[in-house]
């Protein structure tokens, strides 16, 4: 499970980076949609979260079904391979509504792994 700990730490780090960008640029969807730097950086962080999820053990993810792990992997693929068609409003919802919950779950998972 050492590999999973590293992946969880990376996911938490990218969640923190998203939170920092929200503080920096503002918690407003219009700012997000209009500012290329804002949405580009946040979508890169989402892709990195999905990349780390792709390398986690399925057994561990199965223990935490409240997170849509498959959706996170698919989001990574959308950012990496279909960015021109990216739905930035959906990305905003993920960033503002789902990332805080994902971060909390990953922190819990990390604590459990350390026991």
Q: Per residue in 44-90, pLDDT tens?
A: 999 999 999 999 999 999 999 999 999 998 888 788 776 677 889 99
The yes-or-no verdict on residue 95 having pLDDT over 90 is yes
Residue 40 CB-density burial (10 A; 0-12 exposed, 13-18 middle, 19+ buried): middle
Distances (CA, A) of 25 to 18, 21, 42, 58, 113: 10, 6, 11, 35, 34
Band the pLDDT of 1: cuts 50, 70, 90: low
Q: Which of 27, 15, 41 is nearest to 104 (CA)?
A: 15
pLDDT for 84: 73
pLDDT for 83: 62
Percentage above 70 pLDDT, the chain? 97
Q: Which of 13, 95, 86, 8 is nearest to 46 (CA)?
A: 95
């Amino acid at each position: 499970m050492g590999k999973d700990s590293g992946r969880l730490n990376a996911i938490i780090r990218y969640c923190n980076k998203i939170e920092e960008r929200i503080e920096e640029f503002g918690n407003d969807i219009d700012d997000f949609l209009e500012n290329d730097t804002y949405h580009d950086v946040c979508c890169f962080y989402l892709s990195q979260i999905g990349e780390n999820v792709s390398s986690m053990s399925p057994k561990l993810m199965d223990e935490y079904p409240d997170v849509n792990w498959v959706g996170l992997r698919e989001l990574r693929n959308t950012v990496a391979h279909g960015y021109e068609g990216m739905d930035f409003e959906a990305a905003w919802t993920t960033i503002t509504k789902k990332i805080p919950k994902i971060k909390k779950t990953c922190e819990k998972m990390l604590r459990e792994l350390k026991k």
